[in-house]
Amino acid sequence: MMDLDLDAELDRPSNPLDLIERLAALNNWTFDRDSDDELSVAVTGGWADYHVAITWLAEVEAIHIACAFDLKVPDRRRAEVLQLVSLVNEQLWLGHFDLWSSENVVMYRHALLLSGGAEPTDEQAAALIKAAIEACERYFQAFQFVVWAGKTAKEGLEGAMLETVGEA
C-alpha cells in the first residue's frame, strides 16, 4: 500500500461551506448551519421538497452533499428499490443514489474534492447542488412508481424516463 502523509494541516482562508451558505441565501432557500462543518438546506423542486445536507470533511478535504426526499421505503419494496438504485446509478455521470438503511430513505450523494487547499468557486458550489437536485428531480418518479405503484425497477425507470411532447 502506498504510504502517504495526510496529516499535514492546511490553513484555509475560509470555510468552504460559507460559499454554499451564501448560495442558499441568494436563492432564498431555507437553511440552517448546524455547525461549522454542516449545513442543511431545503429546496423545493417540481416533484418534491428536497432535504440537502452539505458537510465539510476536513480530513479528506471534500464537500459532501446528500440530497434526500420524503419517501420511506417499506421493507417489502426494499429489494426492488435497491435494483432501481443500481439501474439509475448506471446512468449517472456524477454522484450516485443510495438507500440509507437506517432510515430506509433514498438519497443522492456526491462530493467535491478540494485537495491541497483548493478553494471552491461559485460555479463549482452551484454545480454541486444543481447536480443533486437535477438527479433527484429526474428519478423521483421512478422511485415513486416502485414504492407506491408496485412497479418493477425496470418499469419504474422506463415510466420516469418517458418524455412527453406538447400539452393535453
Q: Residue 8 pLDDT more than 70?
A: no
Q: Name the residue among 56, 73, 78, 77 with its Cα closest to residue 65.
A: 56
- Domain count of the chain? 1
Q: How confident is the model at residue 34 (pLDDT cuts 50, 70, 90)?
A: confident
Q: Establish if 8 belongs to a structural domain.
A: no
What is the CATH number for 36?
Answer: 3.30.1460.10
pLDDT digits (tens, 9 = 90+) for 81-91: 999 999 999 99
Provide the whole-model pTM: 0.86
Q: Establish if 108 belongs to a structural domain.
A: yes
* Average pLDDT rounded to a whole number, residues 34-59: 95
Q: Establish if 89 belongs to a structural domain.
A: yes
Q: Establish if 4 belongs to a structural domain.
A: no
> What amino acid occupies position 59?
E
CA–CA dist 151, 54 (Å, integer):
32
Q: Establish if 54 belongs to a structural domain.
A: yes
Q: Establish if 11 belongs to a structural domain.
A: no
Place of cell 480530513: 59
Q: Name the residue among 52, 27, 19 with its Cα closest to residue 135.
A: 52
Q: Residue 141 pLDDT more than 60?
A: yes
> What amino acid occupies position 99?
L
* Average pLDDT rounded to a whole number, residues 156-166: 73
In this prediction, residue 161 carries a pLDDT of: 80
Q: Establish if 1 belongs to a structural domain.
A: no
In this prediction, residue 117 carries a pLDDT of: 87
| CB 68, CB 48: distance < 8 Å | no
Q: Which domain holds residue 45?
A: 16-165
Q: Name the residue among 47, 49, 25, 48 with its Cα closest to residue 39.
A: 25
In this prediction, residue 163 carries a pLDDT of: 57
Cα dihedral across residues 54, 57, 63, 68: positive or negative: negative
Q: Establish if 49 belongs to a structural domain.
A: yes
